[in-house]
Each structure stands twice: as C-alpha cells, then as structure tokens.
Amino acid sequence: MKLHTEKVVKLTLVTIVSWLVAALIFFPIFWMILTSFKTELNAFSSPPSLFFWPTLENYFVVFERSDYLRYAFNSVVISFVSSILAMFIGIPAAYSMAFFPTKRTQGVLLWMLSTKMLPPVGVLVPIYLLARDASLLDTRTGLVIIYTLINLPIVIWMIYTYFKDVPKDILEACRMDGASLWQEIRHVLVPITMGGLSSTFLLSLILSWNEAFWSLNLTASQAAPLTALIASYSSPEGLFWAKLSAASTLAVAPILVFGWISQKQLVRGLTFGAVK
C-alpha cells in the first residue's frame, strides 16, 4: 500500500514539474503569439495586459505595408527548390554507398560530413565575391545553390541510414527480375523508404527556412527571405512590437508544425546517424 502511494506522489510530482518546465520554455513563443493580437499601445503597456480585445490589425498591416508575401514567396521558393535539388543529388549517392559500398565508402561519408563543419565565415569573402562576379548577389538562384550544397551532406547521411535499414534481399529479388537501376530506385526503394525520405526532406526544409548567415549577407531586397525581413525590424522607428510579433508568428508557424510532425526522425539527421 505504501509503495502505491509513493508511486502516485512521484507521478504527480513529475507531471507538475514537467509541465512547469515546458510552460517556462515555451513562454517566449506564447508571448509572441499573444502580442501579435494586441494593439501597439497594448503591446508596449507596463504592466503587460493579459486580458485585451484581440485584434487582427497587425496581420493586415504586415501584409500590406511590408510586402510580406514577397519575402514569404522567396522563403518558400528557396527552401523548397534547394531541398528538392539536394534530394535529387543525394538519393543516388546514398543508394550507391548503402548498397554498393567500396573500400573508400566510409571515408567518403566522413569526408562529406566534414564539409558541413566548415564555418561559413571561413568562406564568406570568396563566396561573396564569386556571387558578385556571377551576378548572383541578391538572387534566389544564389541562395538555392548555397543551401543545396550546405544541406547535401546531412541529406546524404540521413538517407544513407534509412537505406541501410532496407533488407538487401528485396533489392536483389527485383534485380533478378531484370529491373534497371532507375526502376529499382524509383519503384522499389523510394516507396519502401518513403517515411525516411519525407523526414529528410522536412529537415532540409527546416534548416533552409531558418538559415540566417548567408541570407543576411548575400541578399538585400529582391531575393530576401523571411529571416531577412524579420532582421529589418531590428532598427525600426516608433511602436512596432505587435507588428514584429505578427510578422514573426507568420514566419515561424509553418516550420514549427513541420518540426512537430518530424521530431522523432530529425534526431538521425541532426546527429549524422550517431543517435537513432
């Protein structure tokens, strides 16, 4: 009996503490969303108003005045195109290394990983100058090229770990049936690993959407994605908190949902398969 009460007390405690910690950590996001529905005057009031008449005005203003849709369009195009490209280049590479490994495969995989560890500032100057000379500064193409390359190692690694889990017999059976390489990948391998491939795509999308070194340094206005739009709020005039919150909420909402969906699979990609 005593053991039972002890268990109940422990469970209650764990529940309360966990919820408190979660609320504390989530609070800045909650506060941002709440502020986005306040008037600017309300957003700036001290003590902060918890009960107020919610308004959608900030969202309208953000859409109208800041050209929000252009930035959102850039973010969508840049992150989707670069992720699709990385998948197209990465799937064949992962296939080759997972099913036809050579003596060098392990070395190649680790070398690919090492390119991910190059600090961006180490190549800021040449990339900036190369982009300038190729007229790729402030273009979506420029960012797409860079994001494809910086996400490629993660994409290959993640897909590689999923392909490694596929039983070899299935592929051998379909090769016996005379399937070509393309048929084998397209009709057998991709359908089997669809779940893993989608998580890989989502991770690449999340990383590109949130990338804020190259987007801040290589774009000005034409190709600037949402990270750059939000950064432009760092030196504003007058009251702007509610609008900043509305623009921010819009910018993070889709990616937050993607993150929630794929949270369990992301670990593989984020740790290069070292933690599954």
Partner 1 sequence: MSQLSRNARAARFLVAPSVLLLLAWMTVPLAMTLYYSTVNFNLTIPGLRNFVGFENYIFFFTDPSFFAGMSNTLVLVGSTLLITVVLGTLIAVLIDSPFPGRSLVRILLISPFFIMPTVNALIWKNLLMNPVSGFFAFLSKTFGMTPIDWFTDVPMLAIILIVSWQWLPFAILILMTAMQSLDQEQLEAARMDGAGPVAIFRHITLPHLARPLAVVVMIETIFLLSIFAEIFTTTGGGPGTQTTNLAYLIYSQALLQYDVGMASAGGIVAVVLANIVAIFLIRIVGKSLAGE
Instruction: Please identify which residue in 72, 97, 154, 224 interacts with partner 1, judged by CB under 8 A.
Output: 97
Q: Does 178 bind partner 1 (CB under 8 A)?
A: yes
Determine, following the binding rule CB under 8 A, whether residue 222 of this chain makes contact with partner 1: no
Q: Where are the alpha helices (DSSP H) in 37-134?
A: 40-44, 57-65, 68-99, 105-116, 124-133
Q: Which residue's CB is nearer to partner 1, number 106 or number 222?
A: 106
The Cα-based distances of 49 to 35, 42, 247 in angstroms read 9, 7, 20
Single-letter residue type at 167:
P
- Taking CB under 8 A as the criterion, the residue among 51, 117, 169, 238 binding partner 1 is 117
Pick the closest to residue 35 from 59, 61, 63 (CA basis).
59
Is the preceding omega at residue 47 within 30 degrees of 0, hence cis?
yes
Shortest CB 111 distance to partner 1, Å: 8
Least Cβ distance, residue 183 to partner 1 (angstroms): 10
Per CB under 8 A, does 216 bind partner 1? yes
93 lies in the binding site for partner 1 (CB under 8 A): yes
Task: Determine if 170 is a binding residue for partner 1 (CB under 8 A).
Answer: no
| Smallest distance from partner 1 to CB 60, Å | 20
Residues 49-88 that bind partner 1 (CB under 8 A): none
> Does 89 interact with partner 1 (rule: CB under 8 A)?
yes
Q: Which of 176, 191, 220, 238 touches partner 1 by CB under 8 A?
A: 176
Would you count residue 5 as binding partner 1 (CB under 8 A)?
no
Instruction: Compute how many residues bind partner 1; rule: CB under 8 A.
Output: 102
Tell me which residue has tokens 């959407």: 209
| Burial class (CB within 10 angstroms; exposed 0-12, middle 13-18, buried 19+) of 270 | middle
Alpha carbon 273 to its chain's center? 18
203 binds partner 1 (CB under 8 A): no
Please state the length of the chain. Answer: 276
141 to 160, contacts with partner 1 by CB under 8 A? 149, 152-153, 156
Q: Say whether residue 263 binds partner 1 (CB under 8 A).
A: yes
At closest approach, how far in Å is the CB of 56 from partner 1?
A: 19
Give the separation between CA 98 and CA 109, rounded to whole angstroms: 10
* Amino acid present at 44: F
Q: Which residues of 81-102 are buried (b: 16+ CB within 10 A; e: fewer)?
A: bbbebbbeebbebbbbbbbeee
Choose, by CB under 8 A, the member of 59, 90, 199, 201 that binds partner 1.
90
